[in-house]
Structure 1
Amino acid sequence: MALCSRVLCLLLLSSFRHVASDRVKVSLPNVVEVRKGDDAIINCSFTIPGQANYTYLHWLYEKNGRVNIYYVGQDRQYAYDTEFKDRIHVADNFTLYISEVTLQDERTFVCQIGAGSAGFGENRTELRVYKSPDPPDITVNEVGILVTDEETPKIARCETKNGHPVPNITWYKNKYPLHQGNKEVNIATTVIKESSGLYTVSSTLHSRLSKDDKDAFFYCEVNYRLPGKDLMMESERVNVTIFYPMENVSLIVESPSRPVTEGDNVGLRCKGDGNPAPEYTFYRVWESEDRKEMEEEIKEARDGLLMFESVRRNASGHYRCRALDLNFVVSLQADTMLSVNYLDPIQMSRESPVELNFGDNTTIVCSTMGSQPSAIQWQWEEQVIAIGPLLNLSSVDYKSGGQYSCVVTMPGVPGLNASKGVTVVVKGQPLVSVSRHLVQVVQNDVLNVTCEAFGYPAPEITWSVNGSVVHKREKHPVSSELSVQVTKELLRSGIKCSATNSLGRGEELITLQEVTVTTRPTITSTGEPVKKEQKRAESKGVLIVAIIVCILAIAVLGAVLYFLYKKGKIPCGHSGKQEITKPGKQQEDIVVEMKSDKAPEETELLPGPTGEKPLPGDQGEKYIDLRN
């Protein structure tokens, strides 16, 4: 019955609001959002049918009833004595302004318009006040979690304060959200409203974890709203300590080089995969004479690491690590072999220096010992001359002397090598050589010659003549340079280079052959005649060049004319000049005119076909018969 009465009242009220709205229509936004401390602006607009005008405006709020807060009439307006009296005013367009909004201002506001006989109308809006919460604070379980716990352990707690309205907290594991609703995850959330009206929200995450979660990270996300937008904040990432039993243990060799060589700093690292880390014990293992396995504890190990500083070969052997997990009562062990590679110093069958006589034969043996097979080669002047431990030298001469190196490498151990040198000295009397045995020279010139001498002990070089001498005593050979002026006596005697040492003497003779140099005599004089002679010589040179050019031009012209004549392009006849002809020949032959640049009196007359000489007027011209 009560329900029917309530429904009837609602129907009557809606009918009343509909009738009123047909007369005066009032428009307000459904919701007005504002941040705490900002100013709220609530717009109110209305329409009145016909020509009627409004008579009053009331702003009021609904909270445990209706309370008027502002009145606007035709001739006056004022604020009612309420909590809003000093913080509100209404503009000419009937907009309500509330300054410095507080959380307590959050309520429903009503704008009511009266229009006399037209009736009245009203509408309402909801004022919502927002305050962003503080950044989330996350605390992780510092005790750690045992994966064998039957209860769902606490992972972390997240808290955010001073938010309005109530913010929401979401948990994440490795960027994936966690949701309440299964046995593995349990989330407990608490909301506290402070006296200020702000909210503090805390959330505690409980979840089962496994060994695979040892590197997982957790964080919480706070979701909240401000006017016109939804926002979020994330906490820092945290990792929870997980305790799980050891399942495997390993023992590895840590070394800067592979394989290990003598002198390296080597460590044996024992590591179990449980947490917390187990206790480690190291042992040296060997086999007794009755083939029983024996082990001896090594006390020097620390935190699962056994170090060998500058390891030696006697550290090679069998090692064992035993790991004991006291939390889960698990014991495991691992073994490894440590092999320290080495290469002993090289031994020579003959110590340096090895002294040999000229023409001797010898063999030098290079040997060494190592942890693995080695490769040996002999080098001389950085060139490989023999493979293997033997260096065979036969019929040695002075060029056989020098520094030989035995180089030993271990192919199975890169970088492990050794070398040793031996000096071979070939003894004998000096062997002399000169730069040239026969030298062509010019008397009074300065001659430079070189003499070299091989031999041991190192020979001394002397010259048969006096001059400027430069000696060069390098390792081998000894050399000397002589600079001397060529004289008649030197031409007769030649130059002798001699070298001596305690075992003998050697010499070489340089024979000199004189070469005669012919020079064109020069005639010189002083004064002006010299200049005239130079001018005359220059004129003759120019004349010779001109004659050569003319002859070449005439030859080319003759060839062209002859070619044209053969082709029948040129009809030839008398040209007023006397032709050079032979009896029985036709008169179609080509006649080439040659003019001499000599004076008439210097020109030799060319006789005509009858033996006559040409007339004096023709003496400056010559004709050459080109018919043949």
Structure 2
Amino acid sequence: MHCTAFLKCLLTVCLINQVSGLETVTGKYGDTVELPCNNGHVMKGLVKWKYDVDGNILVKHVGQNASFSNDVNYKNRVDIKQDFGLIIREVTMADQKTFTCMVAGDDDILEYPVQLVIYKLPSQPQITNQTTAMAVGKLTKLAQCRTESANPAANITWFKNKTPLLSDGTAIKISTTVDVDKATGLSSTKSDLEYTAMKGDIGANFYCQIQHIRSPNMDSSPLIFTVNYPTEEVTLQVVSLGPFKEGDNVTLKCTADGNPPPSSYIFYMKGEKKTVENSNTYTLTNVTRESTGEYKCSLVDSEDKAASLPITVEYLDVDLSTTGKIFKGLGERFEMTIDVKASGTPQTSWRKGNIKLDSLPKFDKLKYSDSGVYECVVSMAGLKKTRTFELIVQGSPVIKNLIKNRGGSVNKVLTCEAEGFPKPTVQWSVNGTDFAETAYVDGKVTYSITIVPKVNLTVSCTVSNTLGSVNKSINVSPLVEDLTIAKQDQKDDYNDQATLAVGIVFGLILAVLAIGLAYWLYMKKYRQGSWKTGEKENGSAEESKKLEENQSQKADV
């Protein structure tokens, strides 16, 4: 405001001087200025420069050297030009006055006054007394902005996010003062900002701007303040990743929207109350299904500001009706049952080895192929339980088949197919070579032996396991007898084939006779149907009789 009044006064003086013919020269503080004498139109006579009433500076006659006074204010600081203009070096605020050029002619003395106005640019804005934080709803002195050594005095304006702040005396108070240095005559301007913060001021940029008639506007560095406000809402969250199962650790985190945030919180856990200092987290260790429930946290100094959330601890219990190795007899009934207790809906799957089963194992009549390791997998919400058992179907041995085959020119190969569990072992009643056995699969195994019989033999195959034994015999003949029997079989086969051929030929003959008889009967019927009453057929009665006899003979054949 002081600066504005000064500028108005200066403008008024300039206007008055323009009206009265007073010339004005503006000079920069510390620079050299030139004051004209009648704009250089001095042809002859005496020229004298003075200020005020009796302040003599110098005298100069046309065509002669200037004579300088002993004025301490201008000695060694002034000079005169050829056109009688006055030069003043290193001007200060003390030089801001009216200087008069007096020209004495032959008949008259003329005066040409010149008003010298000095200006000085303000310094860069300086921020002092800055605070670091402001509270919502509380008027707080934020900072002081200052600029020095200016003429005329500079103006200071405060901004928030490029918007000028206007003092309203309540929420915003701006106090500006101007101090004039008595020694230099220069002015310093300072402005204090008091501000009532809102939540929306978080991250806002405050700055001051220096404004001067002779220089561009200058902005201070941006000021960012911490905005403090009380807690309005509390939030509780789970830091650990769920779902949670028994044995896990669960970390809870309590946060408040106030600034600065609280340093301590109260956690409420299943009826217990725990105050945590200098932290906002609490960890539940080794949780169990009993840990499922509602959890809460609050401020220490304001327990009504609280938040809560539910926590579920998942559990899964799986029990089979029988575990380990299960021994059952062949043909028995078997059914496995499972008991599942879980916090949710589990998924259950069964496998036997690498084969996926559609349902849990249930057999009305067990077979050896039902033996094996069964696996049950139950899963739910990140939990997985695996249970296994081994079913062993037992049975005393049985010989399913005992056969003989030729194994070469004189060899016989005997094969004994056995079934049972544990795996049956074999015992032959004869000695032989090339003992062999197949893989034992689903309770079945086949044993073979090669022998060379010299006489007719009865060979026994005996198979046994821990549950019993069984044997079966087969007759084995020497290879020569087999060949004889084979030839006889071949002869018999030839005779049988000849008999079959004769039968086929005889059958064909009978078929031809049957067709002929059928044809004769047909013709006879036809002829009888074509005779008319009173007519005679060609031929004698004897011929007809002979024809009938011939037909009868053919029929007998």
Q: TM-score, normalised by structure 1?
A: 0.48
Contact 1:154–1:204 (8 Å) recurs in 2: no
Instruction: State the SS of the aligned residue for 1:377.
Output: strand
2:166 counterpart residue number:
179
CA 1:385–1:505: 2 relative to 1, 3 Å: closer
Distance apart, 1:501 and its partner CA? 5.9
Deviation at 1:96, TM superposition (A): 5.5
Contact kept in structure 2, 1:356 and 1:425, CA below 8 Å: yes
**Residue in 2 aligned with 1:77?**
66
Q: CA deviation at 1:391?
A: 5.6
Counting only pairs closer than 5 Å after superposition, residues 185-334 of structure 1 correspond to structure 2 as 185-197=172-184, 198-208=186-196, 212=199, 215=202, 217=204, 219-225=206-212, 228-239=214-225, 248-257=232-241, 260-262=244-246, 263-269=248-254, 271=256, 277=262, 280-284=265-269, 295-296=271-272, 298-302=273-277, 305=280, 307-310=282-285, 312-313=287-288, 314-321=290-297, 323=299, 325=301, 332-334=304-306
Alpha-carbon distance between aligned partners in 2 of 1:310 and 1:15, rounded to the nearest angstrom: 92
Relative to 1, partners in 2 of residues 1:275 and 1:376: Cα closer, same or farther, differing over 3 Å?
same
Q: Matches of 1:42 and 1:406 in 2, distance apart? A: 106
Kindly state the Cα deviation for residue 205 of structure 1 after the two structures are TM-superposed.
3.3
**Counterpart in 2 of 1:372?**
344
Report deviation, 1:408.
Answer: 0.8
TM-score, normalised on structure 2?
0.53
Corresponding residue for 1:127? 117
Cα deviation for residue 15 of structure 1 reads 13
Query: Deviation at 1:307?
Result: 0.5
Q: Structure 1: which amino acid aligns with 2:293?
A: G
After the TM superposition, which residues 537-556 of structure 1 pair with which residues of structure 2 at under 5 Å, given as runs?
A: none
Does 2:383 align with 1:417? yes
Other-structure match for 1:339: 311
- Amino acid across the alignment from 1:160: R
Query: Is the contact made by 1:343 and 1:368 (CA closer than 8 Å) also made in structure 2?
Result: no
Structure number with greater Rg is 2
Q: Does 1:40 align with 2:32?
A: yes
1:57 deviates by: 5.4
Q: What secondary structure, in the 3-state scheme, does the structure 2 residue paired with 1:332 have? A: coil
The DSSP-based 3-state class of the residue aligned with 1:188 is strand
1:396, 1:69 → 2: CA distance? Answer: 141
Match of residue 408, structure 1, among 379, 388, 403: 379
State whether residues 253 and 338 of structure 1, in contact with CA within 8 Å, keep that contact through their aligned partners in structure 2: no
Given that residues 130 and 225 in structure 1 are in contact (C-alpha distance below 8 angstroms), is that contact kept between their aligned partners in structure 2?
no
Match of 1:53 in 2: 43
CA distance in 2, matches of 1:45, 1:352: 127
Tell me, which stretches of 5 or more residues in structure 1 are unaligned?
Answer: 1-12, 22-27, 286-294, 411-415, 430-454, 459-494, 509-628
Alpha carbon RMSD of aligned pairs, Å? 5.5
Task: Name the % identity.
Answer: 15
2:76 to 69, 86, 90: 86
Corresponding residue pairs, total: 395
Please point out which of 123, 142, 146 is paired with 1:156.
Answer: 142
Q: How far off is 1:309 after superposition?
A: 4.4
Going from structure 1 to structure 2, the CA distance change for 1:317 and 1:119 (only over 3 Å counts) comes to same
Query: 1:313-348, CA deviations, whole angstroms, 9 ceiling, x for partnerless residues?
Result: 3333234445465xxxx7625352431322336555
Q: Which amino acid aligns with 2:34?
A: I
Show structure 2 runs of 5+ residues with no match: 1-15, 396-419, 424-433, 449-557
Quickly say closer, same or farther: Cα 1:243–1:496, change in 2 above 3 A.
same
Q: Is the 8 A contact 1:71 1:77 kept in 2?
A: yes
CA contact (8 A) 1:398 1:426 kept: no
The 5 Å alignment of 1:103-114 reads 103-109=93-99
- Structure 2 residue identity aligned to 1:250: V
Contact 1:88 1:98 in 2 (8 A): yes
> What letter matches 1:74 in structure 2?
G
Maintained 8 Å contact 1:224/1:230? yes
1-structure distance, mates of 2:27, 2:368: 110
1:299 aligned counterpart, secondary structure: strand
